[in-house]
């Protein structure tokens, strides 16, 4: 049986944020998002992966390619407050949500929050598609190859290898 955690942080915890952009100056959008994370109370950016360019997944067929990255943060914020901060940063940088998987200036997803499993209407951690997304797994495995997915009990490197069909 998998326990559903409350999402409360007892002290500072390790979390991973996926960043993506496929409109405007994509590299600058990601840099501004990481800077906003660094400037946030209760959040310390520890590492950031290199940028990865890839085709848009889902959304309109003519969507421009994305730049993606993953940042490791330490935070004293509970998971739901960290998510609220990510959404605030998206709004500050000009993100407007009209339809799912549309092109966007910035996309910030909370993909892992410590070893917690959180199932709430507004927040699911680990991100439910994490293990299926090369554009998240590659940058995650670059900076934290041994971090473990708490549902699958697999490391980032193992999930990436499984996705690529490598044993």
Q: Note the pLDDT tens digit of each residue in 12-43.
A: 999 999 999 999 999 999 999 999 999 999 99
**pLDDT higher than threshold 90 for residue 108:** yes
Residue with tokens 């959404």: 87
Residue 41 annotated in active site: no
Residue 51 burial (CB < 10 Å; 0-12/13-18/19+)? middle
The mean per-residue pLDDT over the stretch 142-149 comes to 98
| Residues 153 and 164: beta-carbon distance below 8 Å | no
Higher pLDDT, 3 or 135: 135
| Confidence at residue 8, expressed as pLDDT on a 0 to 100 scale | 43
pTM of the model: 0.90
Instruction: Specify whether 107 is catalytic.
Output: yes
CA–CA distance, 135 with 66 (Å, rounded to integer): 9
pLDDT at 160 over 50: yes
Q: What integer pLDDT is reported at residue 101 of this predicted model?
A: 60
| Catalytic annotation present for 104 | yes
Closest CA to 104 of 46, 7, 19, 32: 19
Instruction: Report strand pairing: 118-119 vs 66-75.
Output: unpaired
Out of 26, 104, 133, 138, the active site residue is 104
Give me the catalytic one of 26, 85, 107, 138.
Answer: 107
What are the structural domains of the chain? Answer: 13-128 (3.30.70.560)
Grouping H, G, I as helix, E, B as strand and the rest as coil, residue 87 is: helix
Residue 100, pLDDT score? 63
CA-nearest of 38, 46, 61 to 16 is: 46
Q: Say whether 115 is catalytic.
A: no
Which is more confident, 55 or 125? 125
**From the candidates 26, 85, 95, 138, which is the catalytic residue?**
95
Q: How confident is the model at residue 125 (pLDDT cuts 50, 70, 90)?
A: very high
Q: Among residues 26, 39, 46, 109, which one is catalytic? A: 109
């Amino acid at each position: 049986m998998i326990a559903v955690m409350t999402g409360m942080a007892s002290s500072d915890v390790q979390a991973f944020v996926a960043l993506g952009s496929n409109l405007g100056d994509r590299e600058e959008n990601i840099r501004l998002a990481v800077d906003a994370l660094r400037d946030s109370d209760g959040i310390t950016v520890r590492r950031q992966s290199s940028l990865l360019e890839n085709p848009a997944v889902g959304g309109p067929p003519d969507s421009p390619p994305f730049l993606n990255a993953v940042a490791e943060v330490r935070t004293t914020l509970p998971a739901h407050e960290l998510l609220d901060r990510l959404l605030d940063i998206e709004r500050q940088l000009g993100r407007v949500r009209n339809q799912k998987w549309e092109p966007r200036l910035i996309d910030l997803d909370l993909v892992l929050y410590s070893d917690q499993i959180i199932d709430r209407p507004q927040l699911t951690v680990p991100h439910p598609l994490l293990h299926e997304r090369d554009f998240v797994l590659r940058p995650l495995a670059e900076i934290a190859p041994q971090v473990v997915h708490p549902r699958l009990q697999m490391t980032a490197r193992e999930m990436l290898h499984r996705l690529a069909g490598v044993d």
